[in-house]
Structure formats: structure tokens, C-alpha cells
Amino acid sequence: MKRLVVTADDFGASPEVNEAVERAHRDGILTAASLMVNGAAVEDAVERARRLPTLGIGLHVVLVDGRPLSPPDRVPALVDAEGNFRTDMVRAAMRIFASPAARRQLAAEVAAQFDAFAATGLPLDHVNAHKHFHLHPTIAATLVKVGKAHGMRTVRAPVEPRAVLRAVESEGARSGIEGIWAQQVQRLMRRASLATPDQVFGLAWSGAMTAPRIQGLLKHLPDGLSEIYAHPATGPYAGSAPGYRYAEELAALTDALARQAVARNSITLGRFADFIEGERS
């Protein structure tokens, strides 16, 4: 039983991302997208999502890189002098952990983003966080509390099996503390009766989910519920990450060989809602 959600992150960041998401869903294997409700092109993303009822739309909670939905003077612990989210994730994480005021501001901003998503009228398929900032235990706990109150049912915990990466590329597995944090988040979410994928792929090769890598993952996909996430775009855009191979990732998701690999390996594609609702029924 190989069930797979293929997700595009940063939906709403730019027209280049939005166009790629629509193309990858219509012409490729993409089944879900994570919406930045504070993205520069969020209105365009929502309009496209309404035309794509089979695309599962989730909330991509942004707490780093970008501007908050809350007025900056109400979340001073989260922003810099220009009112943007702080870019130093380590220092921001320490402040959130140590300061009760920062934690209250965090909860208010997360709630504002859930409220903005609800205002779109789109069903909430899943939740994750930009740059996986929800691996921070305080942010994860806040996400559980606020998210459950807003109908959250599925959360990404990027537990990425290194054995699968090595099967695709002998040099493909990197070690790091992210794996330990991801396992902790997975346990936390499941204790809270929230669903998480059994395994997630996209962290080690972030920004470089090329066609050979995606096809290799499809070939070696474990049983259970998996998620492969990528960052497709038609090209670089304002605020895009240096070195990310956006167009290559779009090409990988629309490659005919990827769809053939899905069929050849008896993989069922879907949104999180398709699989989670099926389990609960």
C-alpha cells in the first residue's frame, strides 16, 4: 500500500510559483500545494486554487522571511526594525523559547494566518511551516493548540529515511539534528490525534528535486503514507532562494517518466484529505 502526496511549497510567493503549481497539477504528478497567506501573489494563488478542485491546498505558516499578517508593532519579538520577520532563525527561536511575550505574539500571528486561510474559503488539506520552523518545539506546540482550534488535521513532520535516499544516490543521505527534531514533531502531532506522513522526502535535496531524484524516490518509495515536496517555479523570482533549481523541479514533476513510475510501482496519488478521510471512515 504505497500512498503518496506530492506537494509544492511556497504557493502564493510569486506568479512564477503559482503558474508552476497549476502546470504541475494539470500536466504532472502534483497533488497538493502549501499556501503562503502573506505571499506577494496570494490572490492569484487562491484564484488558481479555486479552478483546481482536485489540488489539496494547505497552509504554509511563515514565521521567517517575509512580513507578518499582524501589525508589526503587535509582534515586536518576531520582527526586525523594518517590520519583517527576523532572518536569524536560531536567535528568533531562542527568543520564542525564553520569552512569554514572544510566545503570545507567536500564537497571535499563527492564528492570524489560519484566519486568513479560512477567509479564502478553501478546504484546509494540511499544514506545514516555511523552512520547517515548526521543528522548534515551542512553535510545534503552538501550532498544535492554534491549529486544532482552526480545523487542522494533518501536519508535515519531515522524517526522511536515509536508507531510501542512499538507494537513489549513494551520496544522497545527509545526517543532521533535523531528523531528531522531525521525529519529535511526528510523535507530538500523533499524540495530539493529528495525522502526519510516515515519511517525507525533500529536505536533503531541497531546491534540487530533479527528475532522476523524483523518479528514484518513486522507484524506492516505502509502503505507507509518503510525501514528496518540491519548490517548482517557472524561474527565479523576487525573494527566491539562490541556487534553487526551480524550473528543473517543475520539469521533474511534469516529466512523463514520473507518471509512468507512479503506475509501474503501484503508487496511489492523492491529497492528504483523500487518505486521511479514507482511514477514518
Could you report the per-residue pLDDT of 113-146, keeping only the tens digit for each? 999 999 999 999 999 999 888 988 899 999 999 9
pLDDT in tens, 102-121: 999 999 999 999 999 999 99
Q: What is the pTM of this model?
A: 0.94
pLDDT in tens, 54-64: 999 999 999 99
According to DSSP H, which parts of 77-231 are helical? 89-98, 100-120, 137-149, 162-168, 177-191, 211-219
Q: How far is CA 125 from CA 5, 13, 60, 150, 184, in A?
A: 11, 19, 11, 12, 22
The whole-number pLDDT of residue 44 equals 98
